[in-house]
Amino acid sequence: MTTIVNVLAVLGGLLATPHLCRIASFVWLYFLRPSSIRQYLHGPQDSTYAVVTGATDGIGKATAAELLRNGFNVILHGRNETKMKKVVEELRARVPERKDADVRYFIADASAGGQDFAKLVEPYRDLHVTLVYHNVGGGDMSGQRLDERTEENIHSLVNLNALFPLFLNRALLPQLRRSAKSGPVLVNFVGSVAGDIAPPRLAVYAAGKGFLESLTRGLDNDEQFFDGPTGVRYCYLAVAAVHSDNHEAPIATSFTTPTCERFAKCILDRAGCGRRRVAPYWVHGMMQYFIREVAGDGVVDKASAEQMQGLITQAKKGI
């Protein structure tokens, strides 16, 4: 009897070990690990840059402000120059302690094909870029099925969520490898929990985010293990609900839905954590663990369908 008890105790310990390790890793990542964002401030003094796409609203704009607060100069991307100029003025007002920071920008419609990416980045070729946030992206709450969408709409979604970040990264890579000679460089693709659960009516958007996650792993492997390491690393930021007024159906701020400003702080706090996929906000991390590891597909699919119905209805009513 004692032998059986001992065997069961050992077996229970072995089964519990992975879960205990996950809990310890979670606590370290979100509550104990000090921020290492400043390890990316290297190279010539006061001349380190970060690139943020989709920076005129929401998470992108808030991330740009946090980067300025942490000592980076920024190169921002937006679609509308008039709006971008206002954002630059707003950022300078929000971060007055960095009034002498260099804030530059480029304009491109990320949903349109045929971009000359070499031309877009040419004015910044000589700058020391150590951080990139491919934040641009988005879906819609039209509620259309795939066969109800026009080819133009589908192409724009694919360009916005997959091809624009892919080809912009391609244009930046030689410059990033050069910057990595003096210290670490990190490229972040801003993803979405939609890439995990593929909600109805968001199939193309979700596929774009799934593409970015695979791209993150492939590019990180390229830079580490094939004629490497080069010093350039990649991370996929798994994002759930974040409150932003520019969404078609904005979700109210809550424990599970942080403001863009709070979320941007979380993004920078997770920089350099060594993971190729990370949920910047700890609550999102718990939610995604439940979705990916605990709940079955049936439960997740039904819940996401119900939520999408509510969001589409809200968007159509203009709430």
Q: According to the model, what pLDDT value does residue 306 have? A: 80
Positions of E strands within 108-146: 128-134
Is the per-residue pLDDT at 8 higher than 60? no
Taking residues 116-127, what's their average pLDDT? 97
3-state SS, residue 140:
coil
Whether residue 5 has pLDDT greater than 80: no
- Rounded mean pLDDT of the chain? 91
Rounded-to-10 torsion of CA 145, 236, 239, 193: 40
Find where tokens 């990033």 sit: 176
pLDDT at 151 (0 to 100): 96
- Average of per-residue pLDDT across 220-234: 94
With a pLDDT cut of 90, the percent of the chain lying above it is: 71
For residue 42, give every residue at least 6 positions away whose Cβ sits within 8 Å of its Cβ, in sequence order, or none: 48, 130, 182, 183, 184
- pTM of the predicted model over 0.85: yes
Q: What percent of the chain has pLDDT over 70?
A: 92
And the tokens for 286?
């718990």
Q: Which two tokens stand for residue 215?
A: 């791209």
Q: What is the pLDDT of residues 10-64, one digit of tens each?
A: 666 566 677 688 889 999 999 999 999 999 999 888 899 999 999 999 999 999 9
In sequence order, which residues have a C-beta less than 8 Å from that of residue 216 and are 6 or more positions away? 189, 234, 235, 236, 276, 277
Q: List CB contacts of 200: < 8 A, sequence separation 6 or more.
A: 304, 305, 308
pLDDT tens figures, 51-110: 999 999 999 999 999 999 999 999 999 999 999 999 999 999 999 999 899 999 999 999
CA distances from 13 to 18, 25, 26, 121, 289 (A): 9, 18, 20, 54, 22
Lowest-confidence segment of 82-91, 157-166, 207-216, 302-311 by average pLDDT: 302-311
Please give the average per-residue pLDDT across 179-208, as a whole number. Answer: 94
Distance CA 317, CA 253 (A): 20
Angle at 316 between CA 311 and CA 317, to 5 degrees: 100
Least confident window among 107-116, 134-143, 250-259: 250-259
87 with 76: CB under 8 angstroms?
A: yes
CB 300 within 8 A of CB 287: no
pLDDT value for 273? 95
Question: Which tens digit of pLDDT belongs to each residue from 287-300?
Answer: 888 887 777 788 87
Tell me which of 127-131, 199-203, 204-208 is least confident. 199-203
How far from each other are the two terminal CA atoms of the chain, in whole angstroms?
A: 66
Q: Please name each of the domains of the chain with its CATH number.
A: 35-317 (3.40.50.720)
Per-residue confidence band for 303, with pLDDT thresholds at 50, 70 and 90: confident
Please give the pLDDT value at position 251: 78
β-pair partners for 190: 237
pLDDT at 163: 98
Mean pLDDT check: name the lowest of 33-37, 68-72, 206-210, 250-254: 250-254
Is 169:219 a contact under the CB 8 Å cutoff?
A: yes
pLDDT at res. 247:
60
